[in-house]
């Protein structure tokens, strides 16, 4: 059996004196889309921040693409192929859309390929082509999310992590972004998705991990999780 692209084993992490993640473990295959679901404060954002090197690992290990990246910093992790689209998008507001995309490729030096990838991103998100020279901070919420995803893709990641894909966005925008996530996966990029709308998350992802107070309470195919009575009642508002 081929080695997992991402293997998280007994991961412990947190902030200051507070431990948020308590022995979290799961695996992802190449080109797989996996969603993290759970209530506010369950540790979803903390997990993404730890995987991207923004928080130190206090216990356990993380392996990615055959390498132990447990103690790596953010720059090393990005260079290895993990891109993080953070909650709130965190665009460079005064900069243009195109310059934000170029910032996503700041570790790359293949200038011609970078320009080709910009063309690819603006084809994937046509609105960004129309807003190319507009300040990113003046975009609508949906347009900012598209720009943030495109910026993440500019690093040519093997794993794209997206925190709160649909937060504050109209349903038709979320539907469009869902189509992009599917396209990204078809291109061979794995997607680790944090999504407040569990129904949407289960539609987009083939596998899910349920976090409860910093621990994995359930994981498995989303088709099975969506039928689980506990999940339906706690996270989907269904009996």
* Pairs from 171-176 (Cβ < 8 Å, separation ≥ 24): 173/141, 173/142, 173/145, 174/200, 176/142
Strand partners of residue 216: 211
Tokens read off for 34: 């996996």
At residue 1, the pLDDT reads 46
- Kindly list the domain boundaries of the chain, sorted by start residue: 1-81+158-239, 92-156
Per-residue model confidence as pLDDT tens digits over 43-98: 999 999 999 999 999 999 999 999 999 999 999 999 999 999 987 667 867 889 89
At residue 86, the pLDDT reads 85
Question: CATH second-level architecture of 1-81+158-239?
Answer: 3-Layer(aba) Sandwich (3.40)
Tokens read off for 120: 């690819």
d(CA 106, CA 197): 32
The DSSP annotation for 69-100 comes to -TT--HHHHHHHTEEEE-TT----TTSBHHHH
């Amino acid at each position: 059996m081929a080695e997992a692209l991402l293997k998280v084993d007994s991961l412990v992490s947190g902030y200051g004196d507070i431990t948020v993640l308590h022995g979290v473990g799961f695996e992802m295959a190449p080109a797989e889309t996996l969603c993290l679901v759970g209530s506010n404060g369950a540790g979803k954002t903390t997990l993404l921040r730890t995987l991207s090197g923004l928080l130190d690992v206090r216990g356990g290990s993380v392996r990615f693409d055959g390498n132990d990246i447990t103690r790596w910093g953010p720059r090393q992790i990005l260079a290895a192929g993990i891109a993080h689209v953070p909650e709130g998008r965190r665009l460079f507001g005064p900069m243009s859309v195109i310059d934000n995309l170029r910032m996503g490729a700041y570790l790359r030096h293949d200038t011609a390929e970078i320009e080709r990838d910009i063309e690819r991103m603006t084809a994937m998100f046509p609105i960004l082509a129309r807003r190319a020279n507009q300040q990113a901070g003046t975009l609508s919420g949906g347009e900012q999310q598209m720009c943030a995803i495109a910026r993440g893709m500019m690093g040519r990641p093997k794993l794209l992590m997206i925190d709160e894909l649909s937060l504050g966005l109209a349903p038709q925008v979320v539907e469009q972004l869902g189509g992009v996530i599917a396209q990204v996966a078809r291109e061979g990029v794995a997607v680790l998705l944090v999504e407040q709308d569990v129904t949407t998350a289960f539609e987009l992802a083939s596998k899910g991990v349920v976090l409860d107070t910093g621990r994995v309470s359930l994981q498995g195919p989303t088709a099975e999780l969506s039928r689980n009575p506990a999940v339906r009642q706690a996270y989907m508002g269904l009996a």
